[in-house]
Amino acid sequence: MRIAQLATNAERVPPEGYGGTELVVSLLTEGLVARGHDVTLFATGDSDTTAKLVSVTDAPLRTDELNPPTRWPAFDIRLLLELEKRQDQFDIVHNHMGWQALPALRHMRCPSVTTNHNLIKDYLADIYLAYSDLPYVAISNTYKRLNYPEELNYIDVVYNGINCDAYAGDSDGPRNYLLFIGRLDRDKGAADAVEIAKRLNLPLKLAGKIDKKDQAYFDQYVKPHLNKAGIEYVGEVEQEQKVKLYKNAIAVVYPIAFEEPFGLVMAEALASGTPVMAFDRGAVREILKDGETAIIGNSIEDLVGRFDQIKKIDPATCRNAICEKFDVQHMVSGYEAVYEQVLAGKSATPLKTARR
């Protein structure tokens, strides 16, 4: 198949630091190329790919001080214009950019499918509903349940995949700290992670980015605890650093405060043989098994009170459980099936009349 993968301009593919969507796009793109498909990636110019690359910006906009967020939509339109010029070169377009691409996709001569990587916020609902007839893929059953399951034309659920081989191997040292990895914000529960570590009297390493909108939260709820009782912020980390952090952690702390649609951190942790301590939100129970690969609770008290059960979780059980279901090859096969279904003119539910 001739496939266009449409990414965002905010991060490179794959990301140098934090960026779950861009990592998924990279793994999918490389997996499709390896299977012999003709793939073109629309992404930032510094992206690393074996596919053909089309870009309208040399570097990620998130780190470009000359182009503040108010200018980002202009780059999205430019990338869509490049896609429009080349649309006859593709059998199908796979949209990871999000809602910005929907008006353009409606008028493309080739079919498309959109994977929603983030929850549909209230201020976006009318946009998605206006394009409800376009084919969509959900990244978890939880995502589909929370995001207009009757209104949007969901073709299938395809879980995000990880490269399990990248996390293989044993720890190279003692597992002697807890790990929080992700955006240091309220939704991800960074402050709750600090509180859990303090109550357990264990060191905690915090790894991830701090967006400008989250700086005040970080300064008030996280920063005062740094360099006390082993609480350490290590910044954004690259893949090699991330894997090492996972492998030497007692557990990954995942106290999310929102209905997260997937959560690559959970999958990566288990692939590293590291159990997870998670709040029961979003797709947590689709990825983790309480008592087998994780302890799942509804409060800080729940996780702290059951912490001793972490010692009984076998690293091999964690790895096997995640790689049997979430290895990148499962994701690639899932999307190949979706593409074939769309190209055959079939869908899981009848196409709906878009709301105007």
Domain 2-161+327-343 has CATH 3.40.50.2000: yes
pLDDT, one tens digit per residue, over 55-71 is: 999 999 988 888 889 99
pLDDT at 144: 95
Establish whether domains 2-161+327-343 and 164-326 are of one fold.
yes
Query: What is the pLDDT at residue 348?
Result: 47
Neighbours of 176 (CB within 10 A): 11
Q: What does the domain layout of the chain look like in residue ranges?
A: 2-161+327-343, 164-326
The position carrying tokens 């969901």 is 154
The pLDDT of residue 174 is: 81
The C-alpha angle with vertex 345 and arms to 343 and 350, in degrees rounded to 5, equals: 140
pLDDT for 168 equals: 86
Q: Are 204 and 193 in contact (CB under 8 A)?
A: yes
Query: Is the separation of the CB atoms in 139 and 157 below 8 Å?
Result: yes
User: What does the pLDDT profile of the chain (356 residues) look like in tens digits?
Assistant: 999 999 999 999 998 866 689 999 999 999 999 999 999 999 999 999 999 999 999 999 988 888 889 999 999 999 999 999 999 999 999 999 999 999 999 999 999 999 989 888 889 999 999 999 999 999 999 999 999 999 999 999 999 999 999 998 777 778 899 999 999 999 999 999 999 999 999 999 999 989 889 999 999 999 999 999 899 999 988 888 999 999 999 999 999 999 999 999 999 999 999 999 999 999 999 999 999 999 999 999 999 999 999 989 999 999 999 998 999 999 999 999 999 999 998 654 444 444 43
| CATH topology classification for 164-326 | Rossmann fold (3.40.50)
Q: For residues 260 and 286, is the Cβ–Cβ distance under 8 A? A: no
Tell me what pLDDT residue 18 has. 63
Each residue's pLDDT tens digit, 173-199: 788 999 999 999 999 999 999 999 999
Q: Which residue has the tokens 């499709």?
A: 32
Cβ distance 12 to 22 under 8 Å? Answer: yes
Check residue 354 and give its pLDDT.
46
The pLDDT of residue 73: 95
Rounded Cα distance, 63 and 22, in Å: 15
Lookup: tokens for 338: 């979706």
